[in-house]
Amino acid sequence: MEKKKNIAVLGSTGSIGTQALQVIRENPSAFCAEVLVANSNSALLIQQALEFNPNAVVIADETKYKEVKDALQPKDIKVFAGAKAIEQIVEMETIDVVLAGIVGYAGLASTINAIKHRKQIALANKETLVVAGDLVTRLAQQYGVNIYPVDSEHSAIFQCLAGEWDNKIEKIYLTASGGPFRGKKREELLTITKAQALKHPNWTMGAKITIDSASLMNKGLEVIEAKWLFHLNPAQIDVIIHPQSIVHSIVQFEDGSMKAQMGLPDMKLPIQYALAYPFRIKNNFPRFDFLNYPTLSFEKPDLDTFINLKLAFHSMNKGGNMPCVLNAANEVAVQAFLEDKIGFLQMSEVVGNTMEKIPFIASPDYNQYVDCDKEARIVALQQFSS
């Protein structure tokens, strides 16, 4: 690599953030953790800051400000708190790359501001493009900012396209493990518990994304993200179930040839690729052995059982503010499921009903996205709150 990159890790205490810091830890000559941002896990943020000695940290939960400030005072690390501070911290001149790892809609404002300040983006927050893909991609083009995907599937597509930028894509296939309930029918999912849904067969992730994976909403969000990342129309995107999670995604070109990116399921690989791009860095991650996987299988997703994927395709085809509505309603539904307020199948009902009730806006501006997100959350909450 030409020079060490200063990374702002937004969501440093989450699943992606902790793995990103592992990549930074193992490559001190390539990366420096310049800024760490966390939601409310002050204890882990303090621990990370003491190890990595960043220029600044932000804790979203303002009640934790004094605790973090006092703990880091001897280190002379700047400490800020609150949502506005997260949005503003990405403006620091010393930042080269912003790793956008804040979960959900909450990551949108900081990513947009980072783009406006010409920071390169390593995007782990798919909801940013789901909610406002048209706006975000236009801003990235306007400010000359590259968005490097961190999701394993989109990283796979990105890697397959290296050296192929002038060749037309006929189709992309996003692979999905199928989650813990692959092969089950709707009646079998009526009594699914939170504990069952949180047991993913192949990946270790945060609670929200794990539930999304179990319901296939995660794949639906990835479909919408892919549309914007790779400038595709909906007919060019397909999903296939691949239980082994070895083929991370596939690109089919207009001559019919296909490229697939493969490897063991390990999020540190796409994180490292996004942070180091265009270079590859030697590592000691476990290597894939074909002899351990004599059979790789593929099947169609069951859209009658996993309605969330169907809803996501519908919102992508409709466009406008519909993906924003889908995302907002889903965030509310997942939280309600995690709090045992609704059942597994009810999540799809909440999302579908909300999409029917929110007025369609064909070309929303930023403020309309914000209003739409708020309205969709209220409508979603009303369906199960007394």
CA distances (Å), 165 to each of 51, 142, 169, 230, in order? 40, 20, 9, 10
Report how far residue 336's alpha carbon sits from residue 341's, in angstroms, rounded to the nearest whole number.
5
For position 1, what pLDDT does the model report? 65
Report how far residue 264's alpha carbon sits from residue 295's, in angstroms, rounded to the nearest whole number.
14
Peptide bond into 278 cis (omega under 30): yes
For position 43, what pLDDT does the model report? 98
Q: What count of Cα atoms within 13 Å lies in the side-chain half-sphere of residue 71?
A: 18
For position 93, what pLDDT does the model report? 97
Residue in the structure block whose two tokens are 């600044």: 56
Report how far residue 326's alpha carbon sits from residue 352's, in angstroms, rounded to the nearest whole number.
8
For position 385, what pLDDT does the model report? 83
Contact between 242 and 175 (Cβ < 8 Å): yes
Q: Which residues of the chain have pLDDT under 70?
A: 1, 386
User: Pick from 7, 223, 212, 218: which is nearest to 119 by CA?
Assistant: 7
Whether pTM > 0.85 for this model: the answer is yes
Axis crossing angle, helix 366-382 with helix 127-142, rounded to the nearest 10:
180
Q: Per residue in 35-83, pLDDT tens?
A: 999 999 999 999 999 999 999 999 999 999 999 999 999 999 999 999 9
CA angle 299, 307, 150 (to 5 degrees): 70
SS (HEC) of the chain: CCCCEEEEEECCCCHHHHHHHHHHHHCCCCEEEEEEEECCCHHHHHHHHHHHCCCEEEECCHHHHHHHHHHHHHHCCEEEECHHHHHHHCCCCCCCEEEECCCHHHHHHHHHHHHHCCCEEEECCCHHHHHHHHHHHHHHHHCCCCEEECCHHHHHHHHHHCCCCCCCEEEEEEEECCCCCCCCCHHHHCCCCHHHHCCCCCCCCCHHHHHHHHHCHHHHHHHHHHHHHCCCCHHHEEEEECCCCCEEEEEEECCCCEEEEECCCCCHHHHHHHHHCCCCCCCCCCCCCHHHCCCCCCECCCCCCCHHHHHHHHHHHHCCCHHHHHHHHHHHHHHHHHCCCCCCCHHHHHHHHHHHHCCCCCCCCHHHHHHHHHHHHHHHHHCCCC
Report how far residue 64's alpha carbon sits from residue 66's, in angstroms, rounded to the nearest whole number.
6
Report how far residue 218's alpha carbon sits from residue 266's, in angstroms, rounded to the nearest whole number.
17
Environment class of residue 365 by beta-carbon count within 10 Å: exposed (0-12), middle (13-18) or buried (19+)? Answer: exposed
Q: What are phi and psi of 52, to 5 degrees?
A: -95, -15
CATH number of 5-149: 3.40.50.720
User: Pick from 46, 47, 21: which is nearest to 34 by CA?
Assistant: 21
The length of the chain, given as a count of residues: 386
Strands 237-241 and 169-176: parallel
Annotated domain spans of the chain: 5-149, 154-265+286-314, 319-386
For position 386, what pLDDT does the model report? 66
For position 206, what pLDDT does the model report? 84
- Write down the architecture of domain 319-386 according to CATH: Orthogonal Bundle (1.10)
User: Pick from 267, 293, 4: which is nearest to 154 by CA?
Assistant: 267
For position 247, what pLDDT does the model report? 98
For position 202, what pLDDT does the model report? 81
Query: 38: which strand partners?
Result: 59
